[in-house]
């Protein structure tokens, strides 16, 4: 039986699971994944919430795992754990399979036995601050078989001890380590090498991909196919890992590790030397920050910044790292009887390589790397200097798509164009559960290009008017996946690509309402903040709490939270940053009528089924920050190519983010609620209709009275 039959109404899942429901979209997706794994090529799937996409790719992956090694890559650890600990065991049990599977997480998720021993035997470990945590870890390690930090629930995830004993790629020694055979990382990699299906996350996958390109080494075992879940995050993750970065945290880690190893040989002088390197690193970052006006957030670094004070501080740090590297090399090759530190030559040499790598990365950033944008980010606790690729096409083509026979990319938000009925279909008629558009070896199967059907009203300001004109003049790229394909380099003349759109089985027309007020000031108006707060307060009182209020910036978050305080009656007000994300969500679920004000990290990857969440207020349309240096560089590249950055980049990104925000609301067939977008640009800008394309087919209203009637209808049904 094929994957679709196994998941179908007469298959083993229907027989084994009470309440199981075969879904047409899930069956079509399973068949497409199975075809991609068998015939090879690339498959793009947008699968709406509730389609059962996890089983739709796991079943064909398990069936094909006898012949092919498959990597499953997710964006979050939560989904990774769910797949490995819940979904895979269930699927294997129902199918009667015994395919060996493995779970691989990033190295910082595991304890490094060597670093633990170094820390436990150091003078620092005697400080009172470790009196509770260190014995806890010691007792746990006597029993743990995985060394995964999440196992020790008695110790907080952000406990400072973890940073001193966790593993990291830059700290790995390899076979020369005295703990190599008993190493948790060694065990994890050996299990992954044996397994036919390996569950990883995007960061680990692209860290491995970057390593394969630069060195003859790897983190992951070789594979025949990869399935990316939450694939809408691939470009951001790939940009991070294909770049070069030097951070204050990286310098601090080097200083800490070197101090611990050298303190037995050099005593106090080692601490003094390490402290000096830390100060030089901080001095360099501070000098760069001053040249960039000291503003927080990302800022582009001009090539001419590497003169004067910045150059002097760079040279001073480079010299200190060179001296440290030489000292580490001498210690590693010294006589073990006269030099205690020489008992660990491999660890010393690994530190020496880290010194050189840090020097090389700083030099490459300062001198400039073709095709990279250099930027600096200042945050409250750390600073980072990076050089990121402007375009990823060539890198992804050569490192991923050219060398991996089968690649599946799926997400609930992967298509930025229209995903409804094809042009010419009768209006108001329901579309099929799924649409498949095969594209094989450059064969032309695209829709005829058409001019956008947009509202005629132009914006009064010049910038927005230019955007309106660009949208009006531009032609829609063929197919809803055109933006994703272009960003990832999936061109028809290079790859066999199939596209699949799977509709959500939820009845959005009855379960959800999309409120688009047309009487609020525009977001750039001085009156917008007060008006948005007042309208949000009214909405919260109407639905009696249970609301997410999602903003597009930290400034707006604090303003909204401050304005809502004291206006919500007995309902708890939770604000992002007051507690860890998991704790805030736990409090939100438990309260049932809480209001959570949050920003970017809550727009996606948050799953709260049930009535605890029944209102999602989106303060503004989530356009990307125009001053972000990577976005600016990509916009400039489009401009130089004669294309509109707004149409080709900013607008599609906003569409995808808006779909993510909407997706927080309806998670099950019994959920109901309202999504409110308080951005009047959807009515008053020429691109407004395009911005809303692809959203679920909830009924759209502009009057607050219609929202009140929606709530009354549900309360009446419950009563």
Element (H, E) at 27: helix 24-39
Whether 3 maps to a domain, the answer reads no
Residues 156 and 231 in one domain: no
Q: What is the pLDDT of residue 348?
A: 84
Q: What is the pLDDT of residue 423?
A: 31
Residues 31 and 158 in one domain: no
Structure-model confidence comparison of residues 234 and 479, the more confident one: 234
Whether 12 maps to a domain, the answer reads no
Q: What is the pLDDT of residue 689?
A: 92
Q: What stretches of 195-233 show up as alpha helix (H) in DSSP? A: 202-214
Structure-model confidence comparison of residues 290 and 453, the more confident one: 290
Residues 78 and 156 in one domain: no
Domain boundary among 184, 203, 229: 184
Across the chain, mean pLDDT equals 86
| pLDDT tens-digit series, residues 558-614 | 999 999 999 999 999 999 988 888 889 999 999 999 999 999 788 887 888 888 999
- Strand-pair partners of 110: 148
Read off the pLDDT of each residue in 504-521 and give the average, rounded to a whole number. 94
Whether 267 maps to a domain, the answer reads yes
Contact 649, 413 (CB under 8 A): no
Contact 553, 540 (CB under 8 A): no
- Strand-pair partners of 295: none
Contact 346, 173 (CB under 8 A): yes
**Number of folded domains that form the chain:** 4
Element (H, E) at 376: strand 372-378
* Greatest distance between any 2 Cα atoms in the chain: 87
Of 318-327, 339-348, 526-535, 605-614, the least confident: 339-348
Residues 215 and 291 in one domain: no
- Angstrom distance (rounded) from CA 286 to CA 411: 40
Under the banding of pLDDT at 50, 70 and 90, the label for residue 269 is low
Q: What is the pLDDT of residue 122?
A: 83
Q: What is the pLDDT of residue 717?
A: 52
Q: What is the pLDDT of residue 455?
A: 32
Q: What is the pLDDT of residue 447?
A: 32
Read off the pLDDT of each residue in 467-483 and give the average, rounded to a whole number. 63
Of 526, 637, 617, which Cα lies nearest the Cα of 568?
A: 617
Q: Tokens at residue 117, please?
A: 């021993």
Structure-model confidence comparison of residues 591 and 177, the more confident one: 591
C-beta neighbour count of 362 within 10 angstroms: 20
Whether 140 maps to a domain, the answer reads yes
pLDDT of 424 > 90? The answer is no
Contact 229, 74 (CB under 8 A): yes
pLDDT of 431 > 60? The answer is no
Query: Using alpha carbons only, how large is the chain's radius of gyration in Å?
Result: 27
Q: What is the CATH number of the domain that holds 439?
A: 3.40.50.300
Residues 81 and 115 in one domain: no
Beta strands at 497-502 and 434-439: parallel, antiparallel or unpaired: antiparallel
| pLDDT tens-digit series, residues 145-159 | 899 988 888 888 778
- Angstrom distance (rounded) from CA 7 to CA 14: 7
- Angstrom distance (rounded) from CA 588 to CA 548: 9
Read off the pLDDT of each residue in 41-64 and give the average, rounded to a whole number. 94
pLDDT of 395 > 80? The answer is yes
Q: What is the pLDDT of residue 451?
A: 28
Task: Tell me the CA end-to-end span of the chain in Å, nearest whole number.
Answer: 47
Domain of 517 in residue numbering reads as: 508-718
Under the banding of pLDDT at 50, 70 and 90, the label for residue 478 is low
Whether 352 maps to a domain, the answer reads yes
Residues 114 and 90 in one domain: no
Residues 396 and 374 in one domain: no
SS3 428: coil
Contact 599, 553 (CB under 8 A): yes
Contact 110, 184 (CB under 8 A): yes
Read off the pLDDT of each residue in 189-211 and give the average, rounded to a whole number. 94
Q: Which residue has the tokens 């196992």?
A: 151
Structure-model confidence comparison of residues 347 and 318, the more confident one: 318
- Angstrom distance (rounded) from CA 253 to CA 259: 10
Q: What is the CATH number of the domain that holds 385?
A: 1.10.275
Residues 435 and 482 in one domain: yes
| pLDDT tens-digit series, residues 112-123 | 998 898 889 888
Residues 408 and 501 in one domain: yes
- Angstrom distance (rounded) from CA 209 to CA 238: 9
Q: What is the pLDDT of residue 121?
A: 86
Extended strands (E) in 473-588: 497-502, 512-515, 547-550, 573-575
Under the banding of pLDDT at 50, 70 and 90, the label for residue 470 is low
- Strand-pair partners of 232: none
- Angstrom distance (rounded) from CA 598 to CA 613: 14
pLDDT of 316 > 90? The answer is yes
- The CA distances from residue 651 to 200, 370, 521, in Å, are 31, 27, 21
pLDDT of 681 > 60? The answer is yes
| pLDDT tens-digit series, residues 225-263 | 999 999 999 999 999 999 999 999 999 989 888 887 776
Residues 205 and 331 in one domain: no
Whether 17 maps to a domain, the answer reads no
* Burial class of residue 517 in the structure, from the number of CB atoms within 10 Å of its CB (0-12 exposed, 13-18 middle, 19+ buried): buried
Whether 473 maps to a domain, the answer reads no
* Burial class of residue 492 in the structure, from the number of CB atoms within 10 Å of its CB (0-12 exposed, 13-18 middle, 19+ buried): middle
Q: What stretches of 42-124 show up as alpha helix (H) in DSSP? A: 53-64, 77-82, 88-95, 113-120
Residues 177 and 204 in one domain: no
pLDDT above 90 coverage of the chain, percent? 62
Residues 362 and 291 in one domain: yes
Whether 454 maps to a domain, the answer reads no
Q: What is the pLDDT of residue 441?
A: 35
DSSP 106-125: -GGGBB-HHHHHHHHTSGGG
Contact 72, 198 (CB under 8 A): yes
- Angstrom distance (rounded) from CA 388 to CA 371: 8
pLDDT of 718 > 50? The answer is no
């Amino acid at each position: 039986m094929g994957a679709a039959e196994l998941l179908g109404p007469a298959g083993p899942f229907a027989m084994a699971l009470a309440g199981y429901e075969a879904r047409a979209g899930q069956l079509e997706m399973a068949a497409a994944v199975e075809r991609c794994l068998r015939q090879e090529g690339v498959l793009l799937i947008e699968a709406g919430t509730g389609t059962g996409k996890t089983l739709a790719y796991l079943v064909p992956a398990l069936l094909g795992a006898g012949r092919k090694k498959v990597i499953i890559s997710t964006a979050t650890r939560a989904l990774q754990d769910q797949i490995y600990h819940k979904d895979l065991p269930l699927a294997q049990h129902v199918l009667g399979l015994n395919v060996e599977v493995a779970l691989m997480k990033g190295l910082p998720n595991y304890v490094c036995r060597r670093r633990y021993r170094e820390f436990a035997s150091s003078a620092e470990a005697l400080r009172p601050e470790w009196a509770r945590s260190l014995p806890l870890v010691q007792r746990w390690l006597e029993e743990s078989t995985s060394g995964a930090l999440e196992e020790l629930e008695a110790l907080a995830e952000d406990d400072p001890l973890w940073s001193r004993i966790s593993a990291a790629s830059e700290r790995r020694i390899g076979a020369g380590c005295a703990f190599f055979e008993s190493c948790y990382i060694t065990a994890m990699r050996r299990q992954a090498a044996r397994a036919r299906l390996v569950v990883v996350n995007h960061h680990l996958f692209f860290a491995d991909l970057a390593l394969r390109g630069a060195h003859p080494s790897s983190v992951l075992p070789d594979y025949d196919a990869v399935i990316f879940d939450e694939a809408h995050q691939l470009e951001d993750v790939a940009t991070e890992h294909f770049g070069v970065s030097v951070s204050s945290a990286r310098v601090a880690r080097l200083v800490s590790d070197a101090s611990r190893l050298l303190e037995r040989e050099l005593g106090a002088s080692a601490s003094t030397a390490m402290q000096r390197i830390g100060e030089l690193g901080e001095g360099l970052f501070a000098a760069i920050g001053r040249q960039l006006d000291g503003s927080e957030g990302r800022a582009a670094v001009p090539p001419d910044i590497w003169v004067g004070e910045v150059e002097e501080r760079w040279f001073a740090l480079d010299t200190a790292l060179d001296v440290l590297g030489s000292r580490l090399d001498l210690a590693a090759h010294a006589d073990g009887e006269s030099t205690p530190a020489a008992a660990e030559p491999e660890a010393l040499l690994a530190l020496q390589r880290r010194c050189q790598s840090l020097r090389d990365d700083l030099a490459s950033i300062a001198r400039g790397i073709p095709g990279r944008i250099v930027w600096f980010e200042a945050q409250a606790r750390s600073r980072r200097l990076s050089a990121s690729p402007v375009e990823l096409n060539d890198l992804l083509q050569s490192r991923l798509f050219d060398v991996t026979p089968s690649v599946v990319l799926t997400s609930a938000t992967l298509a930025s164009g229209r995903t409804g009925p094809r042009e010419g279909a009768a209006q108001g008629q329901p579309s099929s559960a799924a649409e498949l558009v095969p594209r094989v070896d450059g064969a032309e199967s695209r829709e005829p290009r058409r001019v956008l059907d947009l509202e005629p009203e132009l914006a009064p300001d010049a910038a927005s008017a230019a955007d309106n004109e660009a949208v009006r003049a531009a032609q829609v790229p063929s197919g809803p996946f055109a933006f994703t394909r272009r960003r990832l380099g999936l061109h028809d003349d290079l790859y066999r690509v199939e596209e699949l759109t799977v509709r959500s089985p939820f009845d959005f027309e009855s379960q959800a309402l999309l409120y688009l007020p047309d009487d609020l000031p525009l977001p750039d108006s001085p009156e917008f903040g007060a008006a948005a707060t007042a309208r949000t307060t009214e909405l919260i009182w109407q639905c009696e709490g249970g609301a997410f209020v999602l903003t597009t910036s930290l400034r707006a978050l604090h303003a909204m939270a401050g304005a809502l305080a004291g206006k919500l009656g007995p309902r708890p007000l939770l604000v992002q940053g007051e507690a860890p994300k998991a704790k805030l969500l736990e409090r939100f679920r438990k309260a049932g009528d809480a209001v959570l004000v949050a920003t970017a990290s809550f727009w996606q990857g948050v799953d709260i089924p049930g009535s605890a969440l029944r209102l999602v207020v989106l303060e503004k349309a989530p356009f990307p920050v125009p001053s972000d240096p990577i976005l600016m560089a990509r916009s400039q590249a489009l401009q130089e190519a004669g294309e509109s950055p707004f149409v080709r980049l900013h607008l599609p990104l906003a569409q995808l983010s808006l779909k993510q925000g909407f997706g927080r609301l309806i998670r099950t067939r019994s959920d109901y609620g309202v999504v409110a977008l308080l951005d009047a640009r959807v009515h008053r800008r020429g691109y407004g209709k395009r911005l809303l394309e692809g959203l679920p087919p909830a009924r759209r209203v502009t009057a607050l009275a219609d929202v009140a009637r929606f709530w009354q209808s549900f309360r009446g049904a419950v009563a």
